[in-house]
Structure 1
Amino acid sequence: MTSKKHQKQTLRQRIAHALTDRKILHFRYDAHLRQQVYKRLNALQKLLINRISAIGIEALPAKKLDKLLTELQTEIAKTYQETTAYTQDELSGFLSLEAAKISQLYNDEIGFDLFNDVPKERIKAIKNVAVIEGQPLEAWWNKQRADLAFKFEGIIRSGVAEGKQNGQLATEVRELMSVSRRTAETLVITAVAKVADTAHEALRDANLDILQGEEHLSTLDMRTSTVCQVRDGKRWDLDKKPIGHNIPYKRPPLHPRCRSILQLVTKSWEELGVQGMQEIPTSTRASMNGQVDERVNYESWLNSKTAEEKEQILGKGKADLWQRGVITFSDMLDQSGRALTLRELDELSNIPEAIRAIRRTHWSDEFKAKTESIYYAFAKEGIIIDYHGLSRFGDRLAKTGLSLEEAIEFVKNNKPNYIDSRNGRFVIFDEVLKVAVIQSNKDGQIISFFKKGKIEGKDEWIKI
């Protein structure tokens, strides 16, 4: 996969774009949670309507009506208790995952391990303390339960008093449940954002010695929220004091469905007292010396992506539809149809160790991008290239005269026909194409791919 992510970008911009990519994955995860909450609320709606339809409440005596409503209130409470327990458990796992991934994200963009991981004890201590506007998640679910229960009882009692038929009551209950689903959806989206921010805050607290402060990043809120637009690009120091403005410090989410992020800002190399600067990747070294770069916004974020990357991140064709004015910006970001479970999010977030190793090398950004592209092209077909062979892979492949696609097909369609007696490695050798591939006998990874005219005695290859 080719990438433009390192071209003419400062470290701050690279991190901002990586955080924005990560935010899209959060949207896909909250889509999964919303689906699970919908199932529970849809089942509750069906139960409520079936009960009031089956019993014929328009002619129900007062005592029996009271008894029925008590039973249905219990069902409502049960559904919300289950929903609360489910979302709390999911978000607890999400916090642990996010704390690990956010640390990895910063270090991968920097090119070496500058950030410490969040201590496990800290994660354990904050697992169930995600607070939205001063209230824990459980309190918000309880409020939604109470609102639904109160309004449901009002519909039934007023309906009986007014002589409404069961069909009319069922319609009103459906409308009420539709509102409850939208309210629950907003809570889930906001809760995921809050837990992600909690992980980010924990990373900040674990790395205060290397940070200048925090910067508000509204890449994905620039068209929808005035409060986020005002804060975009503003910085605060580690004491939460404004830097160059008078807007008070506040952590996201700043409003329901808020997409903003507080990005960590590192100290300059001089402030960090880093030794051996020549050993640090050039792209990182040049972008951590305090200069101010242009603001990161949704357009610069999108423009940093290839067409392939846009489809991978947003979904097929979405970026193109938005840029042509066919769909809104919010529609482009909507990931409801691409839900990810927590396990899938973890798997999707795992950057291969070979790629992480590439990003920490002193290679040029262009060579890194080329090497990553080769790695992912093979990996897409289930062929993994050993990291140590990647540095020379592109040049050696070019000398074989095969295109990247032809090289992949060569490996897919040929089995090892020799073994190197010196180390036990497998060898695929084609006398016609004069191409040899060395493969690990331990994990099957491709170690080398090169031009070879013939087998010589010094090779010590044994025919299989």
Structure 2
Amino acid sequence: MPTVNETLQAAAIGHAIDLLHLSNAEVRKIIALLNSADAELRAQLILAITNLGAESFTATHMNTVLASVLEINKSIYASIQETMVKSVIDLAKYEVGYQKALFTEVIPQQARVTVSLGSVNLDQARQIAMARPFQGKLLKEWLGDLEVTRAARIRDGVRMGMVEGQTTEQIVRRVMGIKSEGYADGLLNRSRQDIEAVVRTAISHTAQGARDAFYKANDDLIAELSWLSTLDNKTSADCRLRDRLRYTNDTHEPVGHKIPWKAGPGRIHWCCRSTSTPIIKGWEELRLSKGLPESTRASMDGQVPVSTNYGTWLKAQSAARQDQVLGPNRGKLLRDGGLDVSSFYNDKGKLLTLDQLRERDAASFVRAGI
């Protein structure tokens, strides 16, 4: 039977994967919102360039005729901000509720009677989502910067095109790209990459902030925190260095090493996917010996669990859970095709398509019956 700390570690890995899926969904939603104004933006951009005229082109005149274009840009970022604010507040509320439900389920009732679980209220959850900066700025500040940067890209694209004597069609393509290329050739594609990084980091930052607040509210129950980084082969150098290292719960001081916590898991760099898991104090330290069943004592040993990486964790899950994480075909390849999790990625950590996997190892598809 797994100990309390082993169960919490397994739950932390599974929850990190669920949060990654949430992050993916949020990115798709925000990118779709950003793209929803493309048709209107393109139409106004064509009209503005036509009105600009090569002979009357000046920076002042350009800013005047681009006013409607930049207003559309400003409006779409206002919508993105409204959507993101709601998402991170909802996430903070969910995360503190999830942690309390997890602790209630995992920690024996005898321990919870002696040491009651602390809570994080809704106002605290809102503060976690909105009032704590990540990578040096608040969410609203990052989104405001992205709107200004995208506006500058539009102006720069038009200015360069006019100076080079390009046609209206060429300038619009330069700014927005073309559909057949997935708009990757346009100046505004960088804005999609920027917003994705902000969305992913805001999600991980908020989730970890909520965890930290819940852990601190239960400092009398939690001995230390363990940094968990090993999700797949895309893990950053900073997170690989800290994987499985322990820190104090209250001030995040290193325990048995000198590697600093810095901003913490989920926030130490852009798009960080690391998380943390609490190490619950042993039954003796919690003074639970009176009338405590032997099975409860065994589960509350206070020991740091043996390291478990993402691949090991996933192989121990049910087929349904594997399919939920990987998709049904990759799930079958894991179970029946002889592939491990690392096989699904290239040497740069990018997930391979099924066609690329088949090209690498066709026999695994035969074994899996795909």
Unaligned stretches of 5+ residues in structure 2:
177-185, 354-370
Q: Tell me the residue number matched to 1:185.
A: 196
Instruction: Give SS of 1:278's match.
Output: coil
Identity percentage of aligned residues? 25
- The answer to whether the 8 Å contact 2:3/2:301 transfers is no
2:261 is the alignment partner of 1:249? yes
Range with greater deviation from structure 2 (115-124 or 220-229): 115-124
Measure the CA separation in 2 of the matches of 1:234 and 1:221: 18
**Counterpart pick for 1:195 among 166, 190, 206:** 206
Counterparts of 1:412-431 in structure 2 under 5 Å?
none
2:124 is the alignment partner of 1:122? yes
Q: Tell me the residue number matched to 1:132.
A: 134
- The answer to whether the 8 Å contact 2:81/2:140 transfers is yes
Measure the CA separation in 1 of the matches of 2:282 and 2:87: 38
Measure the CA separation in 2 of the matches of 1:333 and 1:259: 19
More strand by share: 1
Work out the number of aligned pairs and report it. 325
**Counterpart pick for 1:170 among 169, 172, 177:** 172
- The answer to whether the 8 Å contact 1:37/1:83 transfers is yes
- Structure 1 residues 56, 94: closer, same or farther in 2, change over 3 A? same
Letter in 1 for 2:88: L
- The answer to whether the 8 Å contact 2:279/2:302 transfers is no
Give the TM-score of the pair, scaled to structure 2. Answer: 0.79
Counterparts of 1:269-308 in structure 2 under 5 Å?
269-276=283-290, 278-279=292-293, 282=295, 285-308=297-320
Structure 1 residue 211 displacement after superposition: 1.5
Unaligned stretches of 5+ residues in structure 1:
1-5, 335-464
Q: Tell me the residue number matched to 2:74.
A: 77
Deviation per CA, 1:3-44: give whole Å up to 9, x if none.
xxx5xx443232122112112221222233222211222123
Letter in 2 for 1:234: L
Measure the CA separation in 1 of the matches of 2:135 and 2:206: 13
- Structure 1 residues 308, 126: closer, same or farther in 2, change over 3 A? closer
- Structure 1 residues 116, 221: closer, same or farther in 2, change over 3 A? farther
- Structure 1 residues 15, 148: closer, same or farther in 2, change over 3 A? same
Letter in 1 for 2:278: L
2:7 is the alignment partner of 1:29? no
- The answer to whether the 8 Å contact 2:229/2:235 transfers is no
- The answer to whether the 8 Å contact 2:280/2:302 transfers is no
Q: Tell me the residue number matched to 1:328.
A: 345
- Structure 1 residues 111, 221: closer, same or farther in 2, change over 3 A? farther
Letter in 1 for 2:203: V
Deviation per CA, 1:275-327: give whole Å up to 9, x if none.
446347x2x53243243442121122113212232113443233454635663
Measure the CA separation in 2 of the matches of 1:96 and 1:204: 15
- Structure 1 residues 219, 53: closer, same or farther in 2, change over 3 A? same
Q: Tell me the residue number matched to 1:95.
A: 92
Measure the CA separation in 2 of the matches of 1:131 and 1:55: 37
Letter in 1 for 2:345: T
- The answer to whether the 8 Å contact 2:279/2:304 transfers is no
Q: Tell me the residue number matched to 1:106.
A: 103
- The answer to whether the 8 Å contact 1:221/1:229 transfers is no
Measure the CA separation in 2 of the matches of 1:122 and 1:41: 30
Structure 1 residue 207 displacement after superposition: 0.5
2:272 is the alignment partner of 1:258? yes
Query: Considering only aligned residues, what root-mean-square deviation do their CA atoms show, in Å?
Result: 2.6
Give the TM-score of the pair, scaled to structure 1. Answer: 0.64
Structure 1 residue 141 displacement after superposition: 0.8
Deviation per CA, 1:200-220: give whole Å up to 9, x if none.
011012101112121101131
- The answer to whether the 8 Å contact 1:221/1:259 transfers is no
- Structure 1 residues 40, 120: closer, same or farther in 2, change over 3 A? closer
Structure 1 residue 66 displacement after superposition: 2.9
Instruction: Give SS of 2:344's match.
Output: coil
Range with greater deviation from structure 2 (256-265 or 303-312): 303-312
Deviation per CA, 1:413-436: give whole Å up to 9, x if none.
xxxxxxxxxxxxxxxxxxxxxxxx
**Counterpart pick for 2:252 among 227, 232, 240:** 240
Q: Tell me the residue number matched to 1:18.
A: 11
- The answer to whether the 8 Å contact 1:221/1:260 transfers is no
Letter in 1 for 2:330: K
Range with greater deviation from structure 2 (27-36 or 191-200): 27-36
Deviation per CA, 1:61-88: give whole Å up to 9, x if none.
3365332212222221221122112101
Q: Tell me the residue number matched to 1:208.
A: 219
- The answer to whether the 8 Å contact 1:102/1:200 transfers is yes
- The answer to whether the 8 Å contact 1:221/1:258 transfers is no
Instruction: Give SS of 2:247's match.
Output: strand
- Structure 1 residues 108, 313: closer, same or farther in 2, change over 3 A? farther
**Counterpart pick for 1:149 among 146, 151, 159:** 151
Deviation per CA, 1:241-300: give whole Å up to 9, x if none.
2111001123122111111112122111111111446347x2x53243243442121122
Letter in 1 for 2:344: I
Measure the CA separation in 2 of the matches of 1:92 and 1:256: 20
Deviation per CA, 1:90-112: give whole Å up to 9, x if none.
21111111110122123323344
2:64 is the alignment partner of 1:53? no
Deviation per CA, 1:154-182: give whole Å up to 9, x if none.
11011112111122222222222221112
- Structure 1 residues 87, 115: closer, same or farther in 2, change over 3 A? same
Measure the CA separation in 2 of the matches of 1:192 and 1:69: 34
Measure the CA separation in 2 of the matches of 1:54 and 1:133: 38
Measure the CA separation in 1 of the matches of 2:352 and 2:220: 35
Larger radius of gyration: 1
